[in-house]
Amino acid sequence: GDGPAVSASCPKQTGEIVALKKVALRRLEDGIPKQALREIKALQEIEDSQYVVQPKAVFPHGAGFVLAFEFMLSDLAEVVRHAQRPLTQAQVKSYLQMLLKGVAFCHANNIVHRDLKPANLLISASGQLKIADFGLARVFSPDGSRLYTHQVATGWYRAPELLYGARQYDQGVDLW
């Protein structure tokens, strides 16, 4: 997508393969991008969910920093695109169940993702689905008093209220 580059790495200290998401700082005086801060904040609120890609570390790198995450083999968009035949009903049910449990966990912890799409649903080598890319996520105000931007989510995946420019919305935007 348009976001930071992600690559795999295997640090000698742990021997565990991790995904590295490099975030460049365009200008030092601008500080850390809001999107990166939101992602870190959201991940702090929902760590330890088996349905959310887990962060491992954050460290400085050049004119920016790197977020290290658990390594996942692919994303749902790639799995569907390169499947030799359609996913079985059992696979679809399993993926949907993991997705809904992940979304429920996020919402129970007052996090609205705002960019759920196949490319942000990662699949492990064992077939575990986990939600990733919390760059557009927000800590959510359940009382409905806060205003949010409607310019979130990828076009084809936007909920109707976002398409119509709503600034007050709830977690339902993740279920569209």
CA distances from 73 to 13, 18, 111, 117, 150 (A): 21, 10, 25, 17, 32
Tokens linked to 166: 């709503």
Instruction: Print burial letters for 107-133: b (CB count within 10 Å at least 16), e (below 16).
Output: beeebbbbbbbebbbbbeeeeebbbbb
H/E stretch holding 66 reads: strand 64-70
Residue 176's pLDDT is what? 81
| C-beta of residue 47 within 8 angstroms of C-beta of residue 67 | no
User: What is 74-174's CATH superfamily?
Assistant: Transferase(Phosphotransferase) domain 1 (1.10.510.10)
The torsion angles phi and psi of 70, rounded to 5 degrees, stand at -60, 145
Domain boundaries, the chain: 6-70, 74-174
Residue 149's pLDDT is what? 63
Q: Return the closest-CA partner of residue 20 out of 82, 64, 77.
A: 64
pTM (two decimals): 0.84
**Residue 79: other Cβ atoms inside 10 A:** 19
**Residue 161: other Cβ atoms inside 10 A:** 16
Q: Is 122 helix (H, G, I), strand (E, B) or coil?
A: strand
Which pLDDT tens digits describe the chain residue by residue (176 residues)?
455 667 666 665 666 788 898 887 776 666 677 778 888 888 888 878 899 999 888 887 777 788 889 999 999 999 999 999 999 999 999 999 999 999 999 999 999 998 999 999 999 999 999 999 998 888 887 776 666 666 666 778 888 888 888 878 788 889 98
Q: Is 58 helix (H, G, I), strand (E, B) or coil?
A: strand
Q: What positions carry a catalytic annotation?
A: 115
Q: What is the CATH number of domain 6-70?
A: 3.30.200.20
